[in-house]
Structure formats: C-alpha cells, structure tokens
C-alpha cells in the first residue's frame, strides 16, 4: 500500500510536487531502471483519466509529479482520486502514493 497524501491543485495552474523515497535508515532508494505512471480519475471505476507526467531522479530516490495548466484548466473542479505506481526493470509494480486530488475552481479566465 502506498503512502496516503491528499493533493490540492488550482484549476488553470501548473502543479508540481516531489516525493523522496528512502529506506528505513533514511538512505535514498536507488530507482535506476524504474519507470512511473500516475493517473487522476473522478471515481475509482472511471474509464477516463488525466495523467501526471512522472519524472524519476533515480540516484536521489525522487519522484516528481507534474500537471500542466492546460490539463488542470480542462478538469472540472471537485474531488478526484489518484495513485502513483513505479515499475522496476523486472516488471514488479509498486504503488508508492495514493489519495484524493481536489481541483479548486479558478476565477481568472
């Protein structure tokens, strides 16, 4: 099970956040060979989704999520669910993060 983290994204704005993955003694995890995927859906059973751009800084154990302003602007405001999965070079998939995304409405057009 991934870490629970709720995110707030302002509609029509760029969003970037990073998470650092460490082992029990605080050493950064080596993510060489990993790929990542992260999706936002209105409901867990929704067939449509928006994807975060996932960037992995392998040697520092950092995973960055990014959603551009155009994508967030085209999302209805409200509550969504998301998760982030990493795939190791051997095909093993791990969910590292999950939670609720709240898109707050914008005023400026």
3-state secondary structure of 50: strand
Q: Rounded mean pLDDT of the chain?
A: 95
| pTM as predicted | 0.91
Q: How far is the CA of 55 from the CAs of 42, 48, 66, 77, 100, in angstroms?
A: 23, 22, 8, 25, 20
pLDDT digits (tens, 9 = 90+) for 80-109: 999 999 999 999 999 999 999 999 998 876
Write the CATH number of the domain with boundaries 3-104. Answer: 2.60.40.10
Q: Would you list the domain boundaries of the chain?
A: 3-104
């Amino acid at each position: 099970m991934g870490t629970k983290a709720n995110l707030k994204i302002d509609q029509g704005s760029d969003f970037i956040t990073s998470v650092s993955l460490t082992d029990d003694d605080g050493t950064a995890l080596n993510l060489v060979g990993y790929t990542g995927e992260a999706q936002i859906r209105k409901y867990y059973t929704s067939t449509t989704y928006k994807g975060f751009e996932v960037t992995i800084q392998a040697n520092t154990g950092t995973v960055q999520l990014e959603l551009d302003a155009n994508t967030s602007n085209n999302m209805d405001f409200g509550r969504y669910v998301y998760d982030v999965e990493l795939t190791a070079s051997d095909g093993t998939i791990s969910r590292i993060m999950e939670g609720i995304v709240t898109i707050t409405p914008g005023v400026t057009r």
